[in-house]
Amino acid sequence: MDARHDTANPESPGTNNSKKENIVGTPNKQLDAMIIGSGVAGLYQLHMLRNQGLNVRAYDAASGVGGTWYWNRYPGAKFDSESYIYQYLFSEELYKNWSWSSRFPGQPEIEQWMNYIADNLDLRKDVQLDTHIVSAHYNEDSKRWTVTTADNEVIDTRFLITCCGMLSAPMQDLFPGQDSFNGEIFHTARWPRKEVELEGKRVGVVGIGATGIQVIQTIAEKVGQLKVFVRTPQYVLPMNNPSYGEEDVKWYKSRFEELKDDLPHTFSGFEYEFEYVWADESPERRLEILEEAHADGSLKLWLGAFEELFFEEEASGEISEFVREKMRARLKDPKLCEMLIPTDYDFGSHRVPLESNYLEAYLRDNVEAIMVTDNPITRVVPEGLELADGTVYELDVIILATGFDAGTGALSRIDIRGRDNRSLKEDWERDIRTTMGLQVHGYPNMFTTATPLAPSAALCNMTTCLQQQTEWINDCIQYLRKHEFEFIEPSRELEDEWVAHHDETSGKTLISRTNSWYNGANVPGKPRRVLSYTAGVGTYREKCDESAASEYSGFVKA
Ligand SMILES: Cc1cc2nc3c(=O)[nH]c(=O)nc-3n(C[C@H](O)[C@H](O)[C@H](O)COP(=O)(O)OP(=O)(O)OC[C@H]3O[C@@H](n4cnc5c(N)ncnc54)[C@H](O)[C@@H]3O)c2cc1C
């Protein structure tokens, strides 16, 4: 199977396959609000707007609800957030009636939880699945949006809310010749629902980010041979993933109120908060703190030890060396250490993966790491993958763990036109701008979640952040209706201010100096900007709350 063909759904979003004619015809449906996406954000947004009494529907290209947790069914897919903090906190009953089996459960269980949400909130009747949105055009006369599906259904809506995900537009047409491959190619985010036979096969994994790592550690012992194509070595942290018994479940459920109060205000929406100041601790004490955070088996070492990790080269350098040493102790072989341990960027300056015996996979006889940093993959040939020096690696299956066009990709792949027929794709090809990640100047009555310049994936436990964003949008729409405003849009000046604030904050971090998807470096030609807001989830919330309290000062409303 070619990675561009999704067996679960041929009209999968982000496949650049919106070749169907974009005809804006007579609307088949009139809505007050339309939501694109039925993941964590889309489902909650639907629930709230429906409770406001709006005629609202959510549309999704997927054949099931869950977004990320519908699409990413690759071997070993699981949480990096602790399960009990990834839940919605708006309903104690909804929270407490679901019990997790472990601290970091896998995709099947998370998908089940999303289905539990859809059923318990009775959302399914207002979710239209298998529907790929190809265009959304704003009509300045009617002040409404005309949205078209790949099947030429036309929807007329006052509010358009994109809940399309930050990591939902896969980077999958990467190499020339993918069509010519004799075996099967899968992108991890378009993994088929049917069982994929890997037993005894020659498998190549391209990419060792968080996803590639989960795949490698899961399939290493099943496959015949595993070739791992390594371009950027990754710092990794071992995951401690105990199963939850009755007592554990009781324990975390008893903390509902505490979590509800705390999570929205921490730096990252996770449970941990930076506890120590680097300069205040002795070298011995720093080491103890790092050991303790490392032993937690979570992202605590990254997001809950020393804030200086993100800003100060000395602290960051020492913490990076601490992680390197941990990796060396496990890899042992100097050649593997050289290939797999990063030396040219700092720990935490991009997404930190959690792993379970990932490094040990390379010690197996059937697993080989192949460096492609200076000798890149140039094309797919019928037999496998060819590198720049002409070496061909013969394979039966190629797994593209090549990530996403993060933040902008999902929306750029829809033909979104705002005032004066301006195109969001073209705007973002010049410069990636939003106002608090919640609206974009030039696109009235369009609200966005999980878009750039707001806290997002990995620098945020996304359920915390998406609840806050969707609640802000819900309140804003309620406000507009109450005051009988027809539309809202951020002024150019307000957006300039937010972009400047974002750049100033992110410019101080080491993230801005490291090439990764965090700043668009993984997509050729993408304008560079740190995509996630880096001043912290709590600070972001305060700014959004201030905006609402000021009755959306700086936004144009009429
Ligand atoms: C493998 C993986 C693991 C992750 N692990 C974590 C984690 O542990 N912790 C964490 O906080 N975050 C994690 N994330 C981030 C994750 O994306 C968010 O946690 C969250 O699920 C995003 O929810 P969402 O509703 O914003 O978007 P998504 O879940 O991405 O849903 C967006 C939906 O929009 C639909 N859509 C997009 N475009 C269109 C279109 N044109 N037409 C129709 N439908 C469309 C998609 O089909 C999709 O179903 C992970 C992401 C990935 C990929």
Q: What is the pLDDT of residues 335-360, one digit of tens each?
A: 999 999 999 999 998 889 999 999 99
Rounded to the nearest angstrom, the distance between the alpha carbon of 115 and the centre of ligand 1 is 15
Of ligand 1's listed atoms, the one at least distance from the Cα of 81 is: 8
For residues 145 and 19, is the Cβ–Cβ distance under 8 A? no
* 10/156: higher pLDDT: 156
Q: Which residues pair with 384 in a beta bridge?
A: 381, 394
The per-residue DSSP string of 97-153 comes to: T---SBSS-BHHHHHHHHHHHHHHTT-GGGEE-S--EEEEEEETTTTEEEEEETT--
Which of 250, 59, 271, 268 minimizes the C-alpha distance to 164?
Answer: 59
For residues 301 and 12, the model is more confident at: 301
In the predicted model, what is the mean pLDDT of residues 100-124? 98
Query: DSSP for 211-271?
Result: HHHHHHHHHTTTBSEEEEEESS----EE---PBP-HHHHHHHHHTHHHHHHHGGGSSSSSS
Instruction: Provide the pLDDT for residue 3.
Output: 37
- pTM of structure: 0.95
d(Cα 278, Cα 26) in Å, to the nearest integer? 62
* pLDDT, average across residues 407-422: 97
Kindly state the tokens that stand for 344. 């040219």
402, two tokens: 């090549």
Nearest ligand 1 atom to the CA of 71 is: 49
**Residue bearing the CA closest to ligand 1, atom 26:** 165
What DSSP string describes 430-489?
A: H----BTTTB-TT-TTEEESS-TTB--TTSS-HHHHHHHHHHHHHHHHHHHHHTT-S-EE
User: Ligand 1 centroid to 40 CA: how many Å?
Assistant: 7
**Res 24: pLDDT:** 59
Going by alpha carbons, the residue nearest to atom 48 of ligand 1 is: 67
- % pLDDT > 90, the chain: 91
Percent of the chain with pLDDT over 70: 95
The confidence score (pLDDT) of residue 26 equals: 81
pLDDT of 200 over the 90 cut: yes
The alpha carbon of 370 and the centre of ligand 1 are apart by a number of angstroms equal to 30
* Rounded distance from Cα 256 to ligand 1 centre (Å): 24
**DSSP 8-state symbol, 532:** B
Please list every protein residue whose CB sits less than 6 Å from any atom of ligand 1: 13, 36-42, 59-62, 67-68, 70, 72, 77, 79-81, 132-133, 163-168, 211, 410, 414, 449-450, 457, 461-462, 466
pLDDT, residue 276, reads 94
Question: What is the distance between the alpha carbons of residues 432 and 430, in angstroms, rounded to a whole number?
Answer: 7
CA 514 to chain centre: 18
Please give the average per-residue pLDDT across 55-66, as a whole number. 98
Using most ligand atoms within 8 A of CB, pick from 168, 266, 267, 355 the residue to mutate for ligand 1: 168
Q: For atom 27 of ligand 1, which residue has the closest CA?
A: 165
Question: What is the chain's mean pLDDT, rounded?
Answer: 94
Mean pLDDT across the stretch 43-61? 98
Residues 257-282: pLDDT tens digits? 999 999 999 999 999 889 899 999 99
Mean pLDDT, residues 75-89 taken together: 98
DSSP string spanning 16-64?
S---S-----S-SEEEEEEEE--SHHHHHHHHHHHHTT--EEEE-SSSS
> What pLDDT is attached to residue 396?
98
